Amino acid sequence: MKKSKKIKETLQNFPKNFYRNNKKFIWKMVIIIAVGNMALFVKNYQRQRAYVEAFPMGMEVTSFDEYMKTQKDVPSDIEGLSVYDKYTMGLQRQDGSDSDYDGLTDKEEIEIYGTDPLKASSAGDLYTDAYKVQNGLDPYTYKEYTEEIAFPYLECEEVQLTASSPIDFNAVVTDCTFAYDLSSFEVGKVYKGYDLYNYGGIVKINVHDQLTENDINDFEIYITNGPFVIPGENSFKKCSYKLEGDNATLDYEFEHGSEYLIFLTEKQGFKIKNFINGIFNQDDAAVSTSMNNKDKGEALIYGSPWGVLLGGKITIYYTECFDKDNTSLFKVEAEQAIPTIFTKESEDIRFKAISSREMEKKRNFFDKFLKLFKTYKKGEHVAWYEYFFRYAVFCYDTYENTYELAGGSSTTNEFKAKGTGFDKYEDELPFQNFRSYIGTGGNCAGITHLTSYLYNTGRFPSSGTYNCNINGTYEQIQWDLSTDNENATLSNPGLIDYKDIEFVTEHSENGDYLSVNLTEGEQEFVNMIGCYWTEANDRINMNAYEKTTGEYYDASLLNRMTDLLDQGKILDVYLYMRGGGAHAVNIYGYEYIAANSVLFTVYDNNIPQDCKDGYMINADANGNCYLQVTIRKDEGGNDILEYLYMPLQGSKDYIASSMKNLMKSHAMVVMDENWNVLN
Q: What does 618-657 look like in DSSP terms, one character per residue?
A: ---TTS-EEEEEEEEE-TTS-EEEEEEE--BTT-SSS-EE
Residue 281 three-state SS: coil
Which of 167, 164, 127 has the alpha carbon at shortest distance from 146? 127
Rounded to an integer, what is the distance from CA 295 to the centroid of its chain?
A: 22
CA–CA dist 420, 416 (Å, integer): 8
Q: Is the predicted pLDDT of residue 613 greater than 80, yes or no?
A: no
Which of 45-54, 62-71, 267-276, 486-495 has the highest mean predicted lDDT (pLDDT)?
62-71
Q: Is the predicted pLDDT of residue 530 greater than 70, yes or no?
A: yes
DSSP strand pairing (348-353 vs 313-318): parallel
Q: Is the predicted pLDDT of residue 285 greater than 50, yes or no?
A: no
More confident residue, 257 or 100: 100
Mean pLDDT over 430-451 rounds to 84
Q: What is the mean pLDDT of the chain?
A: 79
Q: Is the predicted pLDDT of residue 70 greater than 60, yes or no?
A: yes
Mean pLDDT over 57-63 rounds to 80
Region of 483 please: left (phi>0), alpha (psi -120 to 50) or beta.
Answer: alpha
Q: What's the Cα-to-Cα distance from 655 to each of 175, 361, 515, 646, rounded to whole Å?
A: 27, 22, 29, 5
Asked whether the CA dihedral 122, 125, 129, 133 is positive or negative, the reply is: negative
Residue 47 has what pLDDT?
56
Work out the end-to-end distance of the chain between its first and last CA atoms, rounded to an integer number of angstroms: 80
Mean pLDDT over 460-468 rounds to 87
Lowest mean pLDDT among 54-68, 545-559, 562-576, 579-593: 54-68
Q: What is the largest CA-CA distance in the chain?
A: 104
More confident residue, 56 or 65: 65
Q: How many residues does the chain have?
A: 679
Mean pLDDT over 231-235 rounds to 76
Contact criterion met (CB below 8 Å) for 371 and 614: no
Q: What's the Cα-to-Cα distance from 24 to each of 28, 36, 224, 435, 621, rounded to whole Å?
A: 6, 18, 44, 52, 55
More confident residue, 167 or 511: 167
Asked whether the CA dihedral 510, 516, 518, 522 is positive or negative, the reply is: positive
pTM: 0.72
pLDDT in tens, 378-416: 444 556 666 678 888 776 653 333 333 333 333 332 333
Mean pLDDT over 279-308 rounds to 58
Mean pLDDT over 431-445 rounds to 83
Q: Is the predicted pLDDT of residue 149 greater than 50, yes or no?
A: yes
pLDDT in tens, 8-57: 566 566 666 766 777 777 777 777 777 766 765 665 555 555 555 667 77
Query: What is the percent of the chain with per-residue pLDDT over 90, rounded to a whole number?
Result: 39
CA–CA dist 316, 299 (Å, integer): 6
Angle at 99 between CA 635 and CA 235, to 5 degrees: 55
Q: Is the predicted pLDDT of residue 670 greater than 70, yes or no?
A: yes
Residue 349 three-state SS: strand
Which amino acid, 188? G
Q: Is the predicted pLDDT of residue 651 greater than 90, yes or no?
A: no
- DSSP state at residue 236: P
Residue 296 has what pLDDT?
64
Residue 46 has what pLDDT?
56
Query: What is the percent of the chain with per-residue pLDDT over 70, rounded to a whole number?
Result: 74
Residue 179 has what pLDDT?
80
CA–CA dist 644, 659 (Å, integer): 8
Rounded to an integer, what is the distance from CA 576 to the centroid of its chain?
A: 12
pLDDT in tens, 154-205: 999 999 999 999 999 999 999 988 887 777 677 778 899 999 999 999 999 9
Contact criterion met (CB below 8 Å) for 337 and 303: no
Crossing angle of helices 23-54 and 2-21, in 10° steps, is: 50
Other CB atoms within 10 Å distance of the CB of residue 19: 12
Task: Tell me the pLDDT band of 239, cut-offs 50, 70 and 90.
Answer: very high
CA–CA dist 206, 491 (Å, integer): 67
CA–CA dist 262, 162 (Å, integer): 17
Q: Any residues with CB less than 8 A from the CB of 164 and at least 6 apart, and which? A: 126, 200, 201
CA–CA dist 428, 466 (Å, integer): 24
Mean pLDDT over 467-485 rounds to 84
Lowest mean pLDDT among 22-31, 74-83, 191-200, 529-538: 22-31
Residue 130 has what pLDDT?
95
CA–CA dist 234, 230 (Å, integer): 6
Residue 143 three-state SS: coil
Contact criterion met (CB below 8 Å) for 308 and 342: yes
Residue 228 has what pLDDT?
82
Residue 273 has what pLDDT?
47
Residue 398 has what pLDDT?
39
Lowest mean pLDDT among 138-152, 261-275, 312-326, 570-584: 261-275
Rounded to an integer, what is the distance from CA 580 to the centroid of its chain?
A: 16
Residue 193 has what pLDDT?
93
pLDDT in tens, 193-227: 999 999 999 999 999 999 999 888 899 999 998 78
Of the CA atoms within 13 Å of residue 435, those in its CB half-sphere come to 13
Question: Over the Cα atoms of the chain, what is R_g?
Answer: 29
**Structure-derived torsion over alpha carbons of residues 479, 484, 490, 492, reported in degrees to the nearest 10:** 120
More confident residue, 26 or 245: 245
